[in-house]
Chain A
Amino acid sequence: MRSDGRANEELRELIVKAGVFKNAEGSAYVKMGNTVAVAGVYGPRELFPKFLQDAEKVHLKCRYNMAPFSTKDRKRPGQDRRSQEISKVVADALEPAIFTKEFPKVGIDIYIEILQGDAGTRCAGINAASVALADAGIPMRGLVAAVAAGKVDGDYVLDLTYNEEEKTKADVPVAYVPSLKKITLLQMDGDLSTEDVKNVVNIAIKGCEKIHEAQVEALKSKYAVVL
């Protein structure tokens, strides 16, 4: 039994909403337990500085940012090394799902704001960004879903909270595109045998498939035509 009463392969309470902001062309809200992320997408739009323009494909710009009030100790505003790295791996996680060659020379901006952090913020950010991209009408091969898994007290557990992350032998965030059957983000710190890595990734993929359903539902409930 886990500290919050969940089963090992059970996700935290998950809320996904599509289209939550007016100005952004696409937006989404994702709540995974006490982790809350919102994402907004602008574009495809003209890209400056010009040297960033790519004649073959769209330039995907991603900014992951934690609000100063999202953590126990106030987070200093602005981009630190951690958020820059996360911005990059999140962009890499989303790009395989996007038909990037449809939009040469222009840019798509993805802004992710973490409003409340209780572990798994990059995964919540990816879940929100992926729905926001679809909401913006960007042509995609599929939605990207993400969740972390790990090993606590000998058990493989899904969707860790901060308290569990402290105790885990390893924290493995995974992003997965069910329609492509591809892992598009994979990180880990900790100590696991190769078998453990395979099993942890396996339960994370199962979790991603469930999150994917919620993402699809969110988009359907915004765009469903009432007959």
Chain B
Amino acid sequence: MMTISEEYVREFAEKGLRLDKRKADEFRNVEIETGIIKSAEGSAQVRLGNTTVIAGVKMSVGEPFSDKPDEGVLMVGAELTPIADPDFEPGPPGIQSIEVARVVDRTIRESKMIDVKALKINDEAVWIVNVDLHVMNFDGNLIDAGNLAAVAALATAKMPKYEDGKVNYDERSGALPVTTMPISVTTVKINGMLIVDPTKEEENAADARLTVSVKNGGNVCSLQKGGVEGFTVEELHKALQLAGDKQENLRAALK
């Protein structure tokens, strides 16, 4: 069942308007703060309008996966804490948080942002990098906000020291081997109108969603479509174009 405000969002979209008066291709204000959590090797808080996501990077040393003996391990998880929204409940991760985590994980992995081969220590030991996204306040577009937070946290992380088979978290030295910065741009379709950076209301009123993630230089590294409607080929081309245009502003916010 749609709420009254969601019905408004759809009516407005028919006239090409948004409830918060943004243009179709306008992101909300983005603020990124890094190094906010001392216990983490890297951290970042991203505010995208009223959506707040914190990313923390923790590193440990473990065995490599048997099928990738020469590579370190990079994993992204996401938790939608019950603080963040009246509809979020405690308990095991629901499908929404799984999708956010997996899309951000894939984007970072496929962009080869972190050179995982450089995370090998020796034949038995590699660095294991865990990125955990903690959603603190939810107002839509978790994928873009989560991606920005994860990328900012990884880009500013300081590796702990590894000496005599032990990790020394008190001394942090070099940065992670970062090769590129993937940026996600999510477009939703509401009553035929394509808009970027949807709020919670807009997400609930939307027919379909498409996330396009772009590396430095403009190549696409991941796509994810969601929602109960389809996209035409023309709409796909428009979403690719929007991602190409919008990623630059988001990239600038990372600096």
A interface list, Cβ under 8 A from B: 54-56, 81-82, 84-85, 87-89, 92, 95-96, 100, 170, 172, 176-177, 180-194, 196-198, 201-202, 205
- Bound-state CA distance A170–B110 (Å) is 9
Q: Out of B102, B236, B241, which one reaches A81, CB within 8 Å?
A: B102
| Identity of the chain B residue whose Cβ is nearest the Cβ of A56 in the assembled complex | B1
With a cutoff of 8 Å between Cβ atoms, the chain B residues found around residue A191 in the complex are: 110-112, 215, 219-221
- Bound-state CA distance A16–B224 (Å) is 27
The answer to whether B221 touches A193 (Cβ under 8 A) is no
Give the residues from 88 to 114 in chain B that come closer than 8 angstroms, CB to CB, to chain A: 93, 95, 98-99, 101-102, 106, 109-112
Over the window 197-234 of chain B, the binary record of Cβ atoms lying under 8 Å from chain A Cβ atoms (1 yes, 0 no) is 00000000000001000010011111111111111110
With a cutoff of 8 Å between Cβ atoms, the chain B residues found around residue A184 in the complex are: 225, 229-230
- Bound-state CA distance A182–B210 (Å) is 13
The answer to whether B227 touches A189 (Cβ under 8 A) is no
Q: Out of A96, A176, A186, which one reaches B229, CB within 8 Å?
A: A96
- What are 5 residue pairs bridging A and B, where the CB atoms are less than 8 Å apart in the complex? A85-B95, A92-B228, A96-B229, A186-B223, A194-B220
| Identity of the chain A residue whose Cβ is nearest the Cβ of B239 in the assembled complex | A186
The answer to whether A192 touches B220 (Cβ under 8 A) is yes
The answer to whether A186 touches B101 (Cβ under 8 A) is no
| Identity of the chain B residue whose Cβ is nearest the Cβ of A186 in the assembled complex | B225
Q: Out of B221, B230, B240, which one reaches A96, CB within 8 Å?
A: B230
With a cutoff of 8 Å between Cβ atoms, the chain A residues found around residue B1 in the complex are: 54-56
The answer to whether A89 touches B225 (Cβ under 8 A) is yes
| Identity of the chain A residue whose Cβ is nearest the Cβ of B213 in the assembled complex | A188
| Identity of the chain A residue whose Cβ is nearest the Cβ of B243 in the assembled complex | A194
The answer to whether A85 touches B232 (Cβ under 8 A) is no
With a cutoff of 8 Å between Cβ atoms, the chain A residues found around residue B225 in the complex are: 89, 92, 183-187
With a cutoff of 8 Å between Cβ atoms, the chain A residues found around residue B98 in the complex are: 81, 84-85
- Bound-state CA distance A182–B236 (Å) is 10
| Identity of the chain A residue whose Cβ is nearest the Cβ of B225 in the assembled complex | A186
B161 interface contact, C-beta 8 A: no
The answer to whether B220 touches A197 (Cβ under 8 A) is yes
With a cutoff of 8 Å between Cβ atoms, the chain B residues found around residue A189 in the complex are: 106, 109-110, 221-222
With a cutoff of 8 Å between Cβ atoms, the chain A residues found around residue B110 in the complex are: 189-191
With a cutoff of 8 Å between Cβ atoms, the chain B residues found around residue A82 in the complex are: 102
With a cutoff of 8 Å between Cβ atoms, the chain A residues found around residue B215 in the complex are: 191
With a cutoff of 8 Å between Cβ atoms, the chain A residues found around residue B226 in the complex are: 88-89, 92
| Identity of the chain B residue whose Cβ is nearest the Cβ of A88 in the assembled complex | B95
The answer to whether B220 touches A186 (Cβ under 8 A) is no
| Identity of the chain B residue whose Cβ is nearest the Cβ of A86 in the assembled complex | B102
| Identity of the chain A residue whose Cβ is nearest the Cβ of B234 in the assembled complex | A181
B237 interface contact, C-beta 8 A: yes
B42 interface contact, C-beta 8 A: no
| Identity of the chain B residue whose Cβ is nearest the Cβ of A169 in the assembled complex | B219
Q: Out of A88, A177, A198, which one reaches B99, CB within 8 Å?
A: A88
The answer to whether A95 touches B224 (Cβ under 8 A) is no
| Identity of the chain A residue whose Cβ is nearest the Cβ of B230 in the assembled complex | A182
Q: Out of A100, A176, A190, A198, which one reaches B240, CB within 8 Å?
A: A198
